[in-house]
Amino acid sequence: MLRSFSAGYSTQPVIADLNVPLLPRGKITILLGPNGCGKSTLLRSLAGLNNADGEALLDGEDLMSLSFAERAQKVVFLPQSLPQGVHLHVLESIIVVLRASGGRDNAQGRAQILAILEQLGITHLALQYLDQLSGGQRQLVGLAQSLIRRPELLLLDEPLSALDLNYQFHVMDLVRRDTQAQNRVTIVVAHDINIALRHGDHVLMLKDGRLVASGAGDGDYCGA
């Protein structure tokens, strides 16, 4: 739930006085809107990567009151692409993320990693270097890194942009199953209205940093 939430940059506010109702756990919310309307800024701000004011409530706890480290234990943000120039094997990179989030690099941890790689169809990439992968492959690795952390709030910024159509459906089905299994709140930025209708339990539409419509993923929208 967002209350009077504003965010942006030092000289350029992007989101102003945004109010969003409670987003239920175990559901996917699709965030739609034209370029520059504040979708990425909203996700980055929820993750603590941008300056923001107001309240961002998760189970009654205001994320804005948490330190960056505390917020990182609850919230995971996946940008559109991973940082360039990271010369690690795919498997190594996910192990690093697992350790950083408090997980253990033991037999159980390795089994969880391999299960996610298999579900994403990228087990064959485990020993390849990140900086040698295609854009789509890097997106899938980023998603694997995000899922292994088991966040309470998962923020995905256009995670399908470099994937072909069949893989988009596969990935969103996996995200849905994992969201339900972990009973988390998941927000996905998308441009394709068909993705919203097919995979979103709830849809929010932004324009000029404001909520202009919301509704169920069946296309039954109402003005905000």
Which of 24-33, 64-73, 99-108 has the weakest average pLDDT? Answer: 99-108
Of 63, 57, 53, 47, the closest CA to residue 14 belongs to 53
The confidence score (pLDDT) of residue 221 equals 53
Last residue of a domain, one of 112, 132, 149: 149
43 and 138, same domain (yes or no) = no
Instruction: Write the pLDDT tens digit of every residue in 39-66.
Output: 999 999 999 999 999 999 999 999 999 9
Mean pLDDT, all residues of the chain: 92
Mean pLDDT to the nearest integer, 150-166: 94
Q: Is 6 helix (H, G, I), strand (E, B) or coil?
A: strand
Which of 44-53, 166-175, 212-221 has the weakest average pLDDT? Answer: 212-221
If pLDDT is split at 50, 70 and 90, which confidence band does 219 have? very low
Exposed / middle / buried, residue 87 (Cβ in 10 Å: 0-12, 13-18, 19+): exposed
Domain residues for 121? 84-149
Count up the domains in the chain and report the number: 2
Mean pLDDT to the nearest integer, 88-99: 96
Last residue of a domain, one of 126, 149, 172: 149
185-189: strand order across its sheet: 75-78, 153-157, 185-189, 27-32, 202-207, 210-216, 221-223
If pLDDT is split at 50, 70 and 90, which confidence band does 119 have? very high
Last residue of a domain, one of 149, 173, 206: 149
Token output for 129: 């270097």
